[in-house]
Chain A
């Protein structure tokens, strides 16, 4: 199938992906976990969007919801997803399959377990290529050799016959990158692609992804909890907390002018090697909210040092701070104390 779903609802800047009011729930024995609560965002051609947050904040579930790769207990209960102009949230399984692995490539966290141990790397590289592009296995194999070479694997035509356990972790992640990009997708979703890797390998994989993304002109979503990775690779950032987007903006906005107390806290808990004096790392006290019974107001209230009476009962709107920079915090409200806005600039 080729990359041209019917064009509806095209926005002026023609996003690749637009998510509107996405809501996802998990039905567990303990009750309903509201993992994604009313999330909206867009991805534009060629850009890299970072999604950051602590584990359990809903960032991975958001991505799984978009492609409907949720486990059986999970269900998207609301919102729409426009991909390349078409509302794919109503697509059936067969139509979704034509998008997954074809127009959207995915890379996962743990390369040691993300490849099927009983099939050769070559088989895993070409099976979806053959399915989506309708080419012969022979042609697919030629393309697979090229792709392996592109991701930096030596002797690619031999390595095609190897099994995953014959590769190191870093090499396997390169293979995963090759699998995700072999179909020339419009969008690459990388879910913590470097978390499970050694630090030196992490840098290599990030470099590789950056280079290939530029060569193939693919848009990308990078999910991570590593702010260093975000600063290095992303154009824009969404900060998620408690199943909601609490702040979003360009990388510079988020790193130099963070508005939301949670974002400020995240940045405060990361060491900054460039700091002129040795600064103290400040952890954010407390635990993320229990999404079995999500708080009525702002999810960050119990841990927020600026919490106000209004915060615990009312979820704040997302207030524009600057062009493309928004923060979902009552401190942005005109009635709120002014302290934050004056102070935010000096945080970093």
Chain B
């Protein structure tokens, strides 16, 4: 390489026309370059969660979903404060009222305030969905992690079991389980948890398996850390993104399944009423009182819609494979 000599201006060149604005003698002086500035990294570095949050924030649909999911959860927790009625108190003089200022969503065939019942219905439906998801996540994550960490033949057998159980139509066994356990809040939650963990186990296993051979885990093992500690400290936290996405997307499934079970008479039992129970009860009287179906059905649809928005957004934000 060479260094530029000191500028020597060709005297012959001075005479040509200079078409551009500015004094040519100044324009042709070297500027010099600032190498340190060139190698500056323009973007600040971000952790995985910061990066994911940035991407999630840009996704309007996901954000809307998230806001409404929080809103529905708040309704489920604080809903009873929004209404002065008891969901089960009957006013037999005021049966099958349309929506009004006193009864926002109207009343049902026993004169119960429909708004109050929908609020309590959201509460029950979300309890079913959240609690059963927590259980199926717990079972699935444990099973998947154990299978991946132990590896070899154990992993083989454990995954064959999952494969076979995946072949079993879950909704049918939901019916069978609830018939055996007897309908009710806890048997539905138990039945959902027992049928819902399979997909989670499979995904977590795949995730952990790919993490298991990454450098930071190998480094940790080389330092003599026990596999159990590694699993708790490195593997599961790194699979958290996948777990969150699957958990979010499993909630609409639980709410749908609960509505289905309610319709065939295996839902939550009275006096409690889920959205599914409200909707299926109201579908009998739909011809005369359509509003009684409208509100619980709308609540179901909106909850499912917003959880789907949020889940899809989380998947796009948390799944590194989608990262550009």
Contacts and interface: CB of A to CB of B under 8 A. Distances in A.
Please say whether the chains A and B touch (CB closer than 8 A). Answer: yes
Interface of A: 268, 282, 285-287, 301-314, 330, 333-340, 342-343, 346-347
Most-contacted residue by chain A among B4, B9, B13, B35 (CB, 10 A): B4
Interface stretch (B19-27, B95-103, B201-209, B223-231): B19-27
Contact of B5 (A303, A304, A307, A342): A342
Given A336-B28, A337-B7, A305 B33 contact: yes
A340 B25 CA distance: 17
A338 B8 contact: yes
9 contacts: A285-B33, A305-B4, A309-B26, A335-B10, A335-B25, A337-B30, A342-B5, A343-B4, A347-B2
A285 B1 contact: no
B215 interface: no
Contacts of B27: 308-310
B31 interface: yes
Nearest to B26: A309
A343 B33 contact: no
A308 B38 contact: no
B14 interface: yes
Nearest to A342: B5
Contact of A330 (B1, B7, B28, B33): B28
Contacts of A339: 4-5, 7-8
B39 A306 contact: no
A308 B31 contact: yes
Contacts of B13: 333-335
Contact of A347 (B1, B12, B24, B32): B1
A333 B28 contact: yes
B5 A286 contact: no
Given A285-B39, A287-B38, A303-B38, A337 B4 contact: yes
Interface of B: 1-2, 4-5, 7-10, 12-14, 16, 18, 20, 22, 24-33, 35, 38-39
Contacts of A308: 27-31
Nearest to A283: B39
A343 B2 CA distance: 7
B28 A307 contact: no
A172 B31 CA distance: 50
Contacts of A304: 33
B33 A307 contact: yes
Given A338-B5, A338-B10, A342-B5, 8 more contacts: A310-B28, A334-B10, A335-B10, A335-B25, A339-B7, A340-B4, A343-B2, A347-B2
A337 B1 contact: no
Contact of B1 (A282, A287, A306, A309): A282
A337 B29 CA distance: 8
Most-contacted residue by chain A among B5, B13, B16, B31 (CB, 10 A): B31
Nearest to B8: A338
A302 B36 CA distance: 12
A304 B12 CA distance: 26
Contacts of B38: 285-287, 302-303
Contacts of B4: 305-306, 337, 339-340, 343
A18 B297 CA distance: 65
Contacts of A340: 4
A324 to B, nearest CB: 24
Contacts of A306: 4, 30
Contacts of A347: 1-2
A40 to B, nearest CB: 20
Contacts of B20: 310, 314
